[in-house]
Structure 1
Amino acid sequence: MSFLSRIMVLKSKAHFNTGAGGLPPRRGLTFQGTRKKSGGQTRNRIGILIGCFVVVYGVIGGRLVQYGLSRPETVASIGRAANQVASRPDILDRNGELLATDVRTVSLFAEPHKIVDPDEAVELITSVLPDLDSKTIYKKLTSKSHFQWLRRQLTPKQQSEILALGIPGVGFRPAKRRFYPSGSALSHVVGYVNIDNRGVAGMEKYLDNQGLADLAELGMTSTSALEPVKLSIDLRVQNILHEEIVYGMKQYNAIAAGAVVLNIHTGEVVAMESVPDFDPNDPAMTIDRTTKSDMNRMSGGVFEMGSTFKAFTTAMALDSGKVTMNDTFDARRPLYIGGFTIHDFHATRRVLSVTDVFLHSSNIGSAKMADAVGIDGHREFLTRLGLLTRLQTELPEVASPSQPKVWKKITSMTVAFGHGVSTTPLQTAVAAAALMNGGKLINPTFLPRSVEQADESAVMVVNPDTVTNMKTLFRANVADGSGRRAGVPGFDVGGKTGTAEKVVHGRYSNSVRFNAFLSAFPINDPQYVVLAVIDEPKAAKEGCGITAGCNSAPIVGAIIRRSAALLGVKPRFGKDGNALLVSY
């Protein structure tokens, strides 16, 4: 529109507004009022719209500032592993050494509905993870589901390489992997977890049974680390024990071996291991089903403990008051009872004192001791020592002992020297501790425990006089009897050998043995019980057969020699217990 045209329009409007006769036309007034009203509403609407924009963008700006000031883990679309996967507490030994901990990792997943080219995706993924089965991966990538796991617990390098491939529909989720720095040295005690970080065995399973698994099931995870769990295990002693039984198993060409170190005043298990074992960092690949390497033979296996049971038979006879240290037993001829013959392995064919019965490990003398006490008294005493009932402790892998359904006289006599009743080696060590600590039966624990705490649950099962006599017999057996190879200068080791014939095809075999050596030291004031077992050993050298004195006893001696100082036991030399001064 031209400038002149605009002037003409303005004039016409002015003429229209003044009207004829000087009176404003009623129609013009109405039009002008309507226009003013419409303009006011428009301005209000624009103001409201601007206000809404200010509020919306203010909220967005505020949230951006909030996100910028917040910690990263609270704003990530997929949070840190600590928030996504149930955390497990670290497991420590009694000195604070790390035994088990969580390590952050990632797991590879796919969303099949987002996969563009399944064939290309399979080719790219298997180029980084060649051990994956291509057919299985293709099947997962072409499935109708919206989520598929491809590989759990990747290494950082694998994650980086897959990220570089840029495959649509493939991603990572944070996860945790359990790491065991000690490897196989504590596999049976600490145990291991499955792919979902849930405890499968050992103390890992114990922690889940205490409520950890329920919390994980409910998704009640914590952003802060859980309080570490400290065990009674001393990693230094554990490593020594593990080395010695592995060496012993190879040296004697045995099928299995095990050992335990037990504090007799607190019931704390300071070290315990069973071999064959496995690597808890990779249980699926290292557990050997043919050798039962995942079986904890010390607490989860039951065995006839052979002549170690003669220690309990002697203690029973002395504690009953029906036998004294001055009594004798005629071992000149075998015993014939119920169609069975009981004879001595090393027959002396003479009358034996109580000490001689113990030193020469006389089956005849032990059977006569049991006969003097009686069937009911014998069974009651073994029950009192906890040898006929299931052991109570934190470790889940605990087997129940076996015994004859009906006890007859022949049953009692054969049980007296270790035939007919099967117990776990740990159970045997616990019962022996009661014969050394003043007569108190204390359930074993894998958690730290003070003497005062142990005394609260301890039960007196043996008279103090019986304990004194048993210390004397234990020491005599190492000084002059079958346990000589367990002796360690300065530490006054005492103990009892046990050579048990194993049942093969329903009959006892005199060539297949399960051997044990049950010891305590220092015997003048016992602090620890050490028990070593070896299954089906072979002769290691000329002049020494396959009895416990030739294999189990030396293993115990080596363990005590290397670990006594770490356990705080001071050596004693000379008749008065003082160190000998030698001039050169």
Structure 2
Amino acid sequence: MSFLSRIMVLKSQAHFSAGVYNRLGGASGNVQIEGSRKKKAVQAKSRVGLLIVGFLGVYCVIGGRLVEYAIRDPEVVSSILPPDRLMASRPDILDRNGEVLATDIRTVSLFAEPNKVVDADEAVEKLATVLPDLDMKGTYKKLANRTSHFAWLRRQLTPKQQSQILALGIPGIGFRPEKRRFYPGGATAAHILGYVNIDNRGVAGMEKYIDDQGLADLASVGMTSDQPLEPVRLSIDVRVQNIVRDVVVNAVKNYEAKGAGAVILDIHTGEVLGMASAPDFDPNNPLEGAKEGWLNRMSNGTFEMGSTFKTFSLAMALDTGKVSLNDSFDATQPIRIGGFTIHDFHGQRRWLTLPEVFQYSSNVGTARIIDIVGMDAQKDYLTKLGLLTKMQTELPEVKMPSQPKVWKKINSITISFGHGVSTTPLQTAVAGAALVNGGKLIEPTFLPRNREQADEVAEVVVKKSTSDDVRYLFKLNGIKGSGRNADVPGFNVGGKTGTADKVVNGRYATNLNFNAFLAAFPIDDPKYVVLTFCDEPHNGEKGQNIAAYTAAPMVKNIIARAAPILGVEPKFGDDGSAMLVSY
């Protein structure tokens, strides 16, 4: 039998045996087959269940991590600021005529992902070719930290620096878009505008004022965006501001002074048209300026204002009605009180009328007058004029005046001519404006304000007749007294000088002066007050370091250049009708 035949026979026998078996025990076979099927179904269900549980576990872990990142403090997630904060807009700041004083510009900042940096040494060397002032040691430390996923390397690059760094092709280095504050005028209005920090948040000046009005709160909760905001318009005129700063900076240089400052104030609205303090700084690079430049001496520095205070002493005396312009006072001899001697710098050694007391700046005559007024009335008037309280204005940098804890008669006398009370130059100008505008004290503002709005906040502090008398005294001193060096032909400048000895180690130093000049123009119908000061001059005009040869010429320079811009028309002749003719 062949091999294939045997295979066929065996196969037939196998089929026969299976049939016999099925016939003999068919029920048992069916049970076994059915059990096998059920077992396989259970196993399949178990496997599907395990898969479902596995997927649910994975999704729960993912969801948990998402919730964790959602509620975690952003600084824990990453040290980089969110994009909405990096690109959040600040409003432009404009002058009263719409000229841009501060605006946002787009820039980029350089960052690294240290865990992706291949060679930290090489990366630092390459970056130093573009950024010569790079802190190589500190940068290497950041880049070599393999556990770190983010580190700032340099904020606010120029477009040129960005393109040069891109060309280096350093792995793990990237750029993040930001906004940077730009001040087109540089230091022109530094102390008014202030500046912002690296994250574009206001730190000083009107920049901080804007943040304090709610911008900072919106930014903190992520409600700011990169959309342009409504500009903030200021009261200052950038043309006038440039003149004021130029005069102030030159005064520090030419008079070899420690500092100087000036302000132009609208006496009817309280608007500041221009204000400067020197030394100053460039708000585009505030950290590069000297620390001396950060101090706004006009509003955040207090000084004994010297004989400018005689304006307030004589005004309060006239306002009480206890003295008049026709009264005379004994100035023949110095006054001795409490171990101190009060004497005159330019003593006339005779009886002086009240206008002469002002014209010759007599300490003795002023002391006689204030003795008639009385110490209580003196304190009340100085408080009403805002010279003993903190000034209210938009600038955050405002210092509280200082005064004796306990007033005695000697304090009352020395304060009458400007020693013993320290005030800010700006609030002195504001009080001076009240004495020439009809008697209304108007708090200063760096925002636009019209006369109607000013009248709503104005407080009457002296009678109109007193204001008329003060204008007369200013005019007299501008023609015959120490204010002659501030006169500008056609603009009729009147005012009062003040030369105060500086306090050094608790004693008055006769060789160091603080000089000030409080002026108004045109004095027949005043529109503006100008106050200048020069701190510790050493090279005044004609070798004199007193106010008449330092602060007064500053006023003259400012008015001569700024008056035409402010729209003040010059008048010549006794009645103002004469014309200046040139041939």
TM over 0.5, yes or no? yes
Q: 1:581 to 1:560 in 2, by over 3 A?
A: closer
SS of residue matched to 2:216:
helix
| Cα distance in structure 1, aligned partners of 2:124 and 2:526 | 65
In structure 1, the residue matched to 2:350 is 350
| Cα distance in structure 1, aligned partners of 2:84 and 2:403 | 49
Give the TM-score normalised by the residue count of structure 2.
Answer: 0.84
Q: 1:254 to 1:83 in 2, by over 3 A?
A: closer
| Cα distance in structure 2, aligned partners of 1:251 and 1:81 | 49
In structure 2, the residue matched to 1:525 is 525
| Partners of 1:400 and 1:423 within 8 A in 2 | yes
Segments ≥4 residues shifted beyond 6 Å:
78-83
| Cα distance in structure 2, aligned partners of 1:234 and 1:81 | 36
In structure 2, the residue matched to 1:515 is 515
Higher deviation after alignment, 212-221 or 422-431:
212-221
For residue 238 of structure 2, the aligned residue among 227, 235, 238 is: 235
SS of residue matched to 2:187:
helix
| Partners of 2:256 and 2:538 within 8 A in 1 | yes
Give the CA deviation at 1:246.
1.4
For residue 99 of structure 1, the aligned residue among 74, 98, 101 is: 101
In structure 2, the residue matched to 1:329 is 329
| Partners of 1:334 and 1:364 within 8 A in 2 | yes
In structure 1, the residue matched to 2:547 is 548
Give the CA deviation at 1:340.
1.1
Counterpart check, 1:271 vs 2:274: yes
| Cα distance in structure 2, aligned partners of 1:269 and 1:555 | 18
| Cα distance in structure 1, aligned partners of 2:319 and 2:198 | 52
| Cα distance in structure 1, aligned partners of 2:493 and 2:580 | 22
Q: 1:506 to 1:230 in 2, by over 3 A?
A: same
In structure 2, the residue matched to 1:175 is 178
Written as runs of structure 1 = structure 2, the 5 A alignment for 1:90-489 is: 90-143=92-145, 144-286=147-289, 288-289=290-291, 292-489=292-489
SS of residue matched to 1:298:
coil
| Partners of 1:429 and 1:531 within 8 A in 2 | yes
Letter in 1 for 2:94: L
| Partners of 2:541 and 2:550 within 8 A in 1 | no
| Cα distance in structure 1, aligned partners of 2:226 and 2:279 | 39
Aligned length: 503
What do residues 246-305 of structure 1 show as CA deviations (whole Å, max 9, x unaligned)? 11222211111000000000000000000001111111112x13xx11100000000000
Higher deviation after alignment, 389-398 or 208-217:
208-217
| Partners of 2:541 and 2:549 within 8 A in 1 | no
| Partners of 1:81 and 1:104 within 8 A in 2 | no
SS of residue matched to 1:492:
coil
| Cα distance in structure 1, aligned partners of 2:270 and 2:258 | 29
| Cα distance in structure 2, aligned partners of 1:353 and 1:168 | 85
SS of residue matched to 1:534:
strand
Give the TM-score normalised by the residue count of structure 1.
Answer: 0.84
What do residues 282-330 of structure 1 show as CA deviations (whole Å, max 9, x unaligned)? 11112x13xx111000000000000000000000100011111111100
| Partners of 2:234 and 2:447 within 8 A in 1 | yes
Q: 1:133 to 1:442 in 2, by over 3 A?
A: same
Letter in 2 for 1:433: A
SS of residue matched to 2:381:
helix
Give the CA deviation at 1:484.
0.4
| Cα distance in structure 2, aligned partners of 1:342 and 1:540 | 26
| Partners of 2:196 and 2:207 within 8 A in 1 | yes
| Cα distance in structure 1, aligned partners of 2:83 and 2:245 | 34
Identity %: 65
| Partners of 2:519 and 2:529 within 8 A in 1 | yes
Q: 1:398 to 1:328 in 2, by over 3 A?
A: same
CA RMSD of aligned residues (A): 1.6
| Cα distance in structure 2, aligned partners of 1:581 and 1:566 | 19
| Cα distance in structure 2, aligned partners of 1:115 and 1:583 | 76
| Partners of 1:81 and 1:176 within 8 A in 2 | no
Give the CA deviation at 1:81.
7.4
| Partners of 2:86 and 2:199 within 8 A in 1 | no
List alignment gaps of at least 5 residues for structure 2.
Answer: 1-79
Letter in 2 for 1:93: D
Q: 1:387 to 1:345 in 2, by over 3 A?
A: same
Letter in 2 for 1:86: A
